[in-house]
Amino acid sequence: MSTFSFGKLVSMFRPARANCRISFGPPNKLLQPIDGSLAFSTFFSLPPFLADKLIRAGQLFVQKPDMAMVNLSKGFSRKTLGIDADREEHEKLQAIAVSKAINSHVCAVKEKHLRTLILGTYRDRGAGTFWFHAIKLPLAGDPVVCWKFCHALHKLLRDGESHVLSDSLKYKSKLVDLGRLWRHVKDDSCQLIRNYCSLLVTKLEFHQRNPQIPGNMVLTAEQLESIGQKDVNNWFELAIEVLDYLDAIMVLQKSVFDSLDRSRASSMTPVGQCRLAPLILCILDSSCLYDTLVKIMFKLYSCLPGDLLSGHLERFLSVFKLLKQFYSSSSNLQYFKYLVSVPLLPEKPPNFSIASDFGNYVSPEVMLHDQRSESPCDSQTIEEAKLVDFSDLQEAPLPPSTEPPVGQDDCSTSRDAEREQVINLLRHELDDARATMLRTSQEHAVTTQKLREKIGMLEEGLSRSKDLIEQLSDENDRYRQTNEQLENEKNHLLDEKANGIDGRAAVVEEKFKKMKEVYNNLREEHINALVNLRDLQKESEEQKVALQAAQQASQGTRQKLTELQDARSELQQSCESLRSEVKSLRQQLDVRENVKQVCRIKWYHRWLLAILCLFWDCEARISELEARCATLSCGRSDIERRAEEAEGKVENLSNFLKEIYLLFCHIGKRMIEESEQETENPLFLQLSCSPDYFLSRTDKLRDLISMDSWNRSSLSAETPDVGLLEALVMLSHSLSIMLLCGYATTTIASTDSADDFRKHYEELTRKAKNYLTSIIGGENESSLIELRNSVEELRTAARQLVGSRSDIDADELADMYEEEIKLMENAILEAASKIEAILAKARKSNTGVRLEVHEKILESCTSLIQQVMMLVACAKKLQNEIVQQQCGVSSVKDFYKRNHEWAEGLLSAAKSIGSHAHLLVDAADKVVCQKGKFEELMAASKLVAAGTVQLVVASRVKADRNSELLSELSQKSKSVSSCVAAVLESVKAGKESLEEEELDFSKLSLHQTKRLEMEKQIRVLELESLLDKERKNLGALRKHHYQLGDSFEEQSTAELP
């Protein structure tokens, strides 16, 4: 049973609380019941989750007079209340509104559906119902549905209940995912959805950081001051957030207009209206944000220098330009003219450096036109939501009966719910009326201010016209006086002329002509002045007419303001009556709450006693645990002391292991020396050994050297390993036995073959001593490679001994030669491809000096392999020439059979080149991976050169001295030698460069230093772990080292021929 069911339980049994008994526990073992209203008050003061738990568990029972006890857990579900039906009807209406507002029809969302959703948020005190239905829509499958969903959500965030913002923050990640989803679809509508989702996420984050700002972005001066808290840092950050919000709006509107231009859609078509409808909300948001931003910028410029706000000013100018263009484009659309009055920004942005310019600033005003176009069904729904029944506002008195029916409690509950609904609805209407009155007063103030400015301009023009008329009148009078004066002078001159004054007549006539010209000029000026006067009089009349029209408009506005004030007074009166009623209801509610509080306090006292008992038990448990902690601390000190003693013992064991390691090295060297001394014994000279048995011994030795124990790490006295020590003893024993068998093998072979075999035998003896000596010194990698090569050379010599003692089948020898040549060519090609792969890997994993060194080394190795390939190809051509010249009438197989020693030399050279090429590649790979040494690479390159020399020498034995291929082969051999020298030089130079490179700690940052320190600590821990592992192996070594000596002695005695 949910918390809502607990509420229904309260409403069911509240009327009968004075005559009921409530008991907790199972029927057969009930707790002591509590009678009367105290029982119900105590029960209703329980937390809802606890009461529901009791109901679900069947532990709550109620008993009325003359009735058996009833289990509420079984009978409660049969009750049906009017509130449930009302709630279901409300959810049904909300689901219908969501389905009608957000669908796949390409048209604008209707305002009547949005108003239904907005009323639903005020009833639910949030957007839970809307999101419950919205997440079921195919937002990820239909772009039209997703676009309309964004429009509806934007409308709810602006005009819905205040908790819509907090409820929608839970689904911010869904909006982000939607934007990412539609971003990958290459379509105009999908890009619009991405930008709209980004705008909604920006709006949610803006209100999350600034919860004082409402969703419609309308702020008063007092609210703006409270947000800033008189801290310039708050203004600074708020300006940045507002600019980010405006940038998101500008991105959306630009994408909408661009899509309309590309699709050539009109604003009066359904497609155009579907895309343009959300821009109305963007106009409303942007106008409020622009007003807030201007006020914040004036405050910032009054507190901070202009240089510090240069970034803000640049962003503001950019936004001002885009916003002005946005408003201009929107005002020209026919669709917006019927819906919203788009504001117009001034030609120039405000000058924030001049504080007085704030007085000239006029906030942009946006007014929405009336949009009442509902269908009959929806209109009826809205009207039903507004109709209120005031007949049940007065609470009915309780009936005198002691057992009122449950239905009366239902009516009481329904009346309370209706009363709450009436109060909420009236409060919303009052808020709407206040908003309408505030908007009307603001419009009136703006209109009055504009009319006053226009009247002032007209009065100023009228005064200028009057001054000009007076000036023209004065000039007219002056011209008239001058004209009269001229007429008088003319009459006077005529009189003088009539009197016969001839001498002065010419002068007077001339003067008269000049005066006449002046008079004509004055007359023309007078005519022009009269024309100007007439124009000014006409303009003055027009200004008077405009002034009268403005006065009439002002008078109409005053009348409208008077009507609004009357309506405001009526609303205030109704509000006062509602406040008094709410006050009386609150007093009744307070009385009930006080009674509940007393009962709740008693219930909490009981719970407090139980908690105190539990607290005392916990204290006892804590004391017991403290005693155990003291005992454990004593045991811990004892364990630490034992651990220190164990570490001392482990250190002693490690020293002992190092001593054993050095002892084994000396024993192995002594075994080889004793084998050399044994060969000088006259009795040993009588022994002989077959080459086949010797080859079997060399195979065992080669397998032993190639074990993983040798390849895994180098032998060192600092880090001895039991497996490596065991392998060292077996290697010493195998070397001593093989030396004895090798010396005995030389006694049964021919002279030429024995000399070659004895030379390699002596070389192997010397390198075995060097290897054991290098193990003692700690540098054994290069000596191990030399030992392997020496063993391979000795095996080759042993095969020659086997060849000298038996005939080789011609077919087998020819096939072996062809097969070995192919294997050699494949090995060389494989080596070349591997070096290229190593070079590519080095370029990815290395940088700086190390990369340069590795590139030079690998490039020289590549050149060496290429020259070897060319030499092998030339040698193959030369071999074919030799066979064709010296074969005669016999077959090729007979030629190889007659010259089997020469053919075996070619086979040996081919095998040597192939194996040494692989060795060169492995050495280069180890150097690049920093697992090998440069000496290995130098030795491998020398071995490759030695194999090519062997091939050239074997080819010269049978070749014609005047052969062009022989001279070409000699040139290729010199090129190989040059490449080997280049490899050696690059390896030497690279080694010196890497040894000179040091880590510069001065260039390391704090993060890099900490990271390097952590890596070193990890390496130290790894080494400590390896040390512990080797110390554990020490015990195993002690169990085996005595038994190994006896077993090796018995094996050597059994294997001697």
Write the pLDDT tens digit of every residue in 715-736. 454 555 666 677 777 777 777 7
**Residue 71: its H or E element:** strand 70-71
More confident residue, 281 or 648: 281
The rounded Cα 106 to chain-centroid distance in angstroms is: 35
Q: Is 35 helix (H, G, I), strand (E, B) or coil?
A: strand
pLDDT beyond 60 at 994: yes
pLDDT digits (tens, 9 = 90+) for 682-713: 556 556 676 767 777 777 777 777 664 554 44
- CA nearest 188: which of 252, 134, 104, 138? 252
Residue 22 pairs with which residues in a beta bridge?
34, 62
Q: Looking at residues 421-433, what average pLDDT do you find?
A: 75
- pLDDT one-digit tens code per residue, 627-653: 888 777 787 777 877 788 878 887 877
970-974 mean pLDDT: 82
Percent of the chain with pLDDT over 70: 74
pLDDT of residue 377: 34
pLDDT tops 60 at residue 761: yes
Question: How confident is the model at residue 850, as a pLDDT?
Answer: 72
Query: Averaged over 962-982, what is the pLDDT?
Result: 82
Per-residue pLDDT at 858 exceeds 80: no
For residue 403, pLDDT over 50 is answered with no
Compute the average pLDDT of residues 71-92: 61
Identify the band that residue 53 occupies on the pLDDT scale cut at 50, 70 and 90: very low
What is the structure's pLDDT at 522?
73
pLDDT digits 0-9 by tens, 319-366: 999 999 999 999 888 888 878 888 888 888 998 888 777 878 888 888
How far is it, in rounded angstroms, from Cα 1057 to Cα 1054?
8
- 667 has a pLDDT exceeding 60: yes
In terms of DSSP H, where are the helices of 102-187? 111-124, 128-134, 143-159, 163-169, 172-183
Token readout for 103 is 């669908």
Other Cβ atoms less than 10 A from the Cβ of 970: the count is 14
Residue 288's pLDDT band (cuts 50, 70, 90): very high
Q: How confident is the model at residue 596 (pLDDT cuts 50, 70, 90)?
A: confident
Distance CA 383, CA 1025 (A): 81
Q: Which of 725, 654, 661 is nearest to 1024 (CA)?
A: 654
* Mean pLDDT in residue range 505-521: 73
Strand partners, 34: 22
DSSP for residue 21: E
pLDDT above 90 (res 1049) = no
How many angstroms separate the CA atoms of 109 and 101, rounded? 6
Q: For residue 60, list its beta bridge partners.
A: 24
Q: Answer positive or negative: Cα dihedral of 419, 425, 429, 434.
A: positive
What pLDDT does 681 receive? 64
Is residue 769 within 8 Å of residue 669, measured between CB atoms? yes
**Res. 306: pLDDT tops 80:** yes
Work out the pLDDT band at 389, boundaries 50, 70, 90: very low
User: What is the token pair recorded at 495?
Assistant: 């009189």
Q: What is the SS3 assignment for 23?
A: strand
Q: How confident is the model at residue 255 (pLDDT cuts 50, 70, 90)?
A: very high
The separation between CA 262 and the C-alpha centre of its own chain, rounded to angstroms, equals 33
Higher pLDDT, 963 or 165: 165
175-184, 247-256, 616-625, 912-921: lowest mean pLDDT where? 912-921
Residue-wise pLDDT tens digits, 814-841:
666 667 677 777 777 777 777 777 777 7
**How far apart (Å, rounded) are the C-alpha atoms in residues 400 and 403?**
9
Torsion angles phi and psi, residue 532, rounded to 5:
-60, -40
Q: What is the pLDDT of residue 837?
A: 78
Angle at 59 (CA atoms; ends 57, 60), nearest 5 degrees: 120
861 Cβ contact list (under 8 Å, min separation 6): 835, 920, 924, 937, 941, 983
Confidence check: pLDDT of 485 > 70:
yes
- The DSSP symbol for 305 reads -
Predicted pLDDT of residue 2: 38
pLDDT recorded at residue 1015: 78
| Average per-residue pLDDT for the chain | 74
Which is more confident, 996 or 563?
563
Please give the average per-residue pLDDT across 130-135, as a whole number. 91
194: phi then psi, degrees, rounded to nearest 5: -60, -45
pLDDT for residue 285: 93
Helix (H, G, I), strand (E, B) or coil at 15: coil
The predicted pLDDT at position 268 comes to 85
Over 70: is that where the pLDDT of 414 sits?
no
Between CA 33 and CA 62 the distance in angstroms is 9
Token pair of 824, please?
Answer: 């050699």
- Confidence (pLDDT) at 294: 92
User: How many whole angstroms separate alpha carbon 43 and alpha carbon 9?
Assistant: 11
Given the structure tokens 């002065």, which residue do they identify?
Answer: 504
Residue 47: pLDDT band by 50, 70, 90 thresholds? very low
pLDDT category at 154 given cuts 50, 70, 90 is: very high
pTM over 0.75: no
Which 8-state DSSP code applies to residue 358? G
Q: Please state which of the ranges 266-280, 388-402, 429-443, 1039-1053 shows the lowest mean pLDDT.
A: 388-402
